[in-house]
Amino acid sequence: MRRLDVSLGERSYPICVAGGLLAEAGAMLAPLLPRPRVAVVSNPVVAALWLGRLRVSLAAAGIEVGEPILVPDGEAHKTLATAYDVVTRLLELNVERSTTMIALGGGVVGDIAGFTAAIYQRGIPYVQLPTTLLAQVDSSVGGKTGVNHALGKNMIGAFHQPRAVLIDTDCLRTLPDREFAAGLAEVIKYGAIRDAAFFAWLETEIPRLLSREPDALIHAVSESCRIKAEIVAADEREAGERALLNFGHTFGHAIEAGVGYGEWLHGEAVAAGMVLAANLSERVGSLAHADAGRLRALLGRAGLPMVAPPLGASNYLELMRRDKKVDRGKVRLILLDRLGSARLRSDVPEEAIEAVLG
């Protein structure tokens, strides 16, 4: 097992990565719980595959597990209405402040569970047990929780750090190929913005990752979590450095909102967004043509979309102006100086953005 820590003082927590970790979850979580009672939030697909194994592990550790709270599968259901339904079930189940919520599922489950944990009785503890690659390397770490609004992604939410993140890479065996590829987009992002050596490793090892070889998966997930944990520890609430994690996301969120949530997977939209951001970085002279080509090539080898949907430059800009990073009306973008190095810029001419949007 590989263990990392998100260093946030008294709110620090471990990230543990291994195959077969669900079978150990009860013993690992028992010392962290205020009382031996949990409420599990999942969706029907994940629950059918993995909830039984988790229940056995929790019961063996003497942890009380009630009826699971199941939310509909898919980004289209990451809404206030779904969060309200979860809160209703928490009340019906007499969940108290000392009960810990467990998010068992992908990014949608984790975001909804974390958000409802943040607002229910003004905050209860929760734990992330992510089952998709995207959730394992990104959304489960860092305490960002929330739901979507029709006018913008993740516009309703809260920062609420988990007590622990337990990552069982065996869960990736049952993940559909499309969702697995979508998770690879976030893995590639970490190398692009922060670690050129990791990016080079991905270029070499992408065939093993696509074959889901266990040691390659554990390394990729651990390194992604290491990079994110370092950035979150330095800037928990995205006052500066944490914004770098949004490389490709300003374009990507516009794609998701523009085509309708759920039509493109988040990682697919981010991949196309990274291509646009790399093209823009090259256009404004901060990124060498060869580096932009390496990023595009790796995304293509991962089976990710390379071309953004034709929403029109004006529509893209309208959606991008609703992004959370907009400051004083200016769209701020994460651009690359080179592979492994990114920065936040608010001085990019609008005509340059329009040019890459076609």
Domain extents in the chain: 2-174, 186-357
Catalytic (active site) residue 238: yes
Work out the pLDDT band at 271, boundaries 50, 70, 90: very high
Catalytic (active site) residue 154: no
175 pLDDT exceeds 90?
yes
Overall fold of domain 2-174: Rossmann fold (3.40.50)
Question: Please, what is the Cα angle at 142 between 139 and 146, to 5 degrees?
Answer: 60
pLDDT for the residue numbered 331 = 87
Catalytic (active site) residue 301: no
Query: What percentage of residues in the chain have a pLDDT greater than 70?
Result: 100
pLDDT for the residue numbered 330 = 82
Which position among 266, 279, 325, 332 bears the catalytic label?
Answer: 266
Catalytic (active site) residue 266: yes
Query: What percentage of residues in the chain have a pLDDT greater than 90?
Result: 93
Q: Which CATH number is correct for 186-357, 1.20.1090.10, 2.70.98.90, 1.10.3720.10, 3.40.605.10? A: 1.20.1090.10
Catalytic (active site) residue 122: yes
Catalytic (active site) residue 78: no
Which position among 43, 154, 246, 279 bears the catalytic label?
Answer: 246
Percentages helix, strand, coil for the chain (3-state, rounded to 5) are: 55, 20, 25
Catalytic (active site) residue 228: yes
Which position among 163, 228, 325, 332 bears the catalytic label?
Answer: 228
C-alpha–C-alpha distance, residues 171 and 54, integer Å: 12
pLDDT for the residue numbered 26 = 98
Q: At a CB cut-off of 8 Å and minimum separation 6, what does 273 contact?
A: 248, 249, 250, 251, 252, 253, 254, 255, 308
Q: At a CB cut-off of 8 Å and minimum separation 6, what does 73 contact?
A: 43, 44, 45, 108
pLDDT for the residue numbered 322 = 85
Which position among 153, 249, 325, 332 bears the catalytic label?
Answer: 249
pLDDT for the residue numbered 186 = 98
Work out the pLDDT band at 223, boundaries 50, 70, 90: very high
Catalytic (active site) residue 263: no
Which position among 122, 289, 328, 351 bears the catalytic label?
Answer: 122
278 pLDDT exceeds 80?
yes
Neighbours of 257 (CB within 10 A): 24
pLDDT for the residue numbered 288 = 97
Which position among 75, 179, 186, 236 bears the catalytic label?
Answer: 186
C-alpha–C-alpha distance, residues 129 and 150, integer Å: 28
pLDDT digit string (tens) for 311-335? Answer: 999 999 999 988 877 877 788 999 9
DSSP-derived letter for residue 110 is H
Average pLDDT, the chain: 96
Q: Which long-range contacts (CB under 8 A, 24 or more apart) does 327-335 make?
A: 331/250, 332/243, 332/250, 333/250, 333/277, 333/280, 334/193, 334/243, 334/244, 334/246, 334/247, 334/248, 334/249, 334/250, 334/277, 335/277, 335/280, 335/281, 335/284, 335/286, 335/287
Which position among 55, 77, 89, 144 bears the catalytic label?
Answer: 144
Work out the pLDDT band at 61, boundaries 50, 70, 90: very high
The mean per-residue pLDDT over the stretch 183-205 comes to: 98
239 pLDDT exceeds 90?
no
Catalytic (active site) residue 289: no
* Global confidence as pTM: 0.95
C-alpha–C-alpha distance, residues 39 and 298, integer Å: 40
Of residues 228 and 330, the one with the higher pLDDT is 228
72 pLDDT exceeds 80?
yes
Which position among 160, 189, 219, 253 bears the catalytic label?
Answer: 253
Which position among 163, 219, 242, 332 bears the catalytic label?
Answer: 242
pLDDT for the residue numbered 260 = 93
Beta bridge partners of 128: 103, 165
Catalytic (active site) residue 43: no
Q: Which amino acid, 83?
A: A
pLDDT for the residue numbered 289 = 97
